[in-house]
Amino acid sequence: MAFKIPFTITPQEVADQLEEGKSLNLLDVRELAEWVEGHVEGAKHIPLSQLVGRLKELDLDQEIIIMCRSGNRSGLACELLHEKGYKVVNMTGGLNEWTSKLVRD
């Protein structure tokens, strides 16, 4: 049976919460080239390929909203982190469906 992510959120819901001033713990798991093209302000960047080696950078006690380009890699990251006891939420649709402002490096 495939892993089912217990919690999901849409890009619009994330953008709305940020616009309301809510502090969110965001993790972007895209590769560096994608990140520099544009990312959500305040998001932490750890590419999926580096996630296992950088777990200590994440807070086990805080909910993490995980994002990528389409929602597939973030789903994999959610599965991995959930199995290790992290509280995760997958941003379905990813940044392909993001309509709010992005920061560029």
- pLDDT tens for residues 58-88? 999 999 999 999 999 999 999 999 999 999 9
What ranges do the domains of the chain cover?
8-97
Listed in sequence order, the DSSP H helices in the chain are 11-19, 32-37, 72-83
- CA distances 51 to 13, 17, 26, 34, Å, are 25, 26, 14, 16
What is the rounded distance in angstroms from the CA atom of residue 98 to the CA atom of residue 105? 18
Predicted pLDDT at 75: 94
**In the CATH hierarchy, which fold is given to the domain comprising 8-97?**
Oxidized Rhodanese; domain 1 (3.40.250)
Record the pTM: 0.93
Residue 104: pLDDT band (50, 70, 90) is confident
What is the rounded distance in angstroms from the CA atom of residue 11 to the CA atom of residue 29? 15
